[in-house]
Amino acid sequence: MVVTALPHRWQQPCVWQSMELQAITRTSVRGGNLFFPAQKWKNHNRFISNVKAVGHRLILKYTGSRRCSSKKFGTSICCSIGVDKESSVPPSSQLAEAKLIYSVAPALGHNQESHPECNSRVPAIVSELEKMELTPKFRGSEVIELQNFRTASVDDIASVHARAYVSGLQKAMDQAVEQGIIFIDGSGPTYATATTFKESLTAAGAGISLVDSVVAASKIRREPPSAFALIRPPGHHAVPKGPMGFCVFGNVAIAARYAQRVHGLKRVFIIDFDVHHGNGTNDAFYDDPDIFFLSTHQDGSYPGTGKFDEVGHGNGEGTTLNLPLPGGSGDIAMRTVFDEVIVPSAQRFKPDVILVSAGYDGHVLDPLANLQFTTGTYYMLASNIKQLARDLCGGRCVFFLEGGYNLSSLSYSVVDSFRAFLGEPSLATKFDNPAILYEEPLAKVKQAIQRVKHIHSL
């Protein structure tokens, strides 16, 4: 694990807030600086940001509130704080009535404000959930926020990651205390602060505690609640030997091993719809026949892995499916992928549980890639995955937050995912602006789908 001091150029205000696109554009990264073609951004009236043009670039400064603490953020919303004890599963009486259960681990101390993966992300989501009246305060027994969940243990993390990495990161916290913020690897870039190790354990613990709750609910009812871990730092790029691409520990991968080891759920189906390939999850299970990893991602995007022919190795051959989609793919493409690739793959695999790396950076407004998913795309995915879990594995399904860096599109999309879990109509038409969409490259999408179907005999 490489640890270096963080360059001064990252010591800037958070720039990833309240942005929309008139024409699709994405960032390039040069020497750690992030550049935006200025002429392609448009600031819509319903969002507020300070925009300054410098040559052909834009500098955007967040104007919203960042007054966060471990107890409150945004609109006085309480968040769960991990504790070092056994997972606190809600009482059976609560699980018997709930439609949705979620946990919140915002990692407020793990933050570099000029970085896309900054600590405003989870508070923005929870504030929007409150605004849209989707929290227990408004929904009563329908919605549970899991409180007092335990942190993951080092043994939990070591089920996926090398112990040398885990201990090395823990030791690096002393350096982070001295320097304030450090790089913990040379790719991504992935940073750490003095609280990163503890908060990464909390994030992983929030996920595995939801697995506990969903499994407990599945023992007392035929349709247990869907679950969503609103956590950071994200995890699907973190490889077994170390961090990568904003990710510290592989939250989904750790939960998959936990489900097998603790609950005897042998066959785990992982869906990753983040815009970037989940290379860390891919690598962790590449030779494992009992964990099926299916990733849809933008072709050619970071980190450059996830090719069609990456299908697993040895006993695991055939249980890794990678589908790189052409830039510009949108709602039509993803609906077709779900029907023609995800469903038949899951039906053939016959999982005991479905885990989801839920990345919202494929949204048309997100600055880090070039797909044009909409809020409605994410509603469709949440609704259909929920139904797939009901059909195949007793409703056991847990979502884990991965990417999503435009706070508005991220928050709205998670809100609509919650509404899908609750069986309520989408509000996508209130959020989405069809005028910014352009024609999808459906011929190329069809070619990609046919290729992956041929490789995997679907």
Residues forming the active site: 237
Q: What letters, b where the CB count within 10 A reaches 16 and e where it falls short, cover 133-166?
A: ebbbeebeebbbbbbebbbbeeebbbbbbeeebb
Q: To which H or E segment does residue 344 belong?
A: helix 343-349
Instruction: Provide the 10 A C-beta neighbour count for residue 281.
Output: 30
Q: Is 414 left (phi over 0), alpha (psi -120 to 50) or beta?
A: alpha
- Cα torsion angle, 18, 429, 366, 116, sign: positive
Please tell me whether the peptide bond between 303 and the residue prior to it is cis, using omega within 30 degrees of 0.
yes
Token look-up 């695991």 returns 316
Contacts of residue 73, defined as CB under 8 A and 6 or more positions apart, other chains included, come to 67, 79, 106, 108, 123, 126, 127
Question: Nearest CA to 235 among 301, 290, 268, 284?
Answer: 284
Token look-up 């695999």 returns 349
The counts of H helices and E strands in the chain are 14, 19
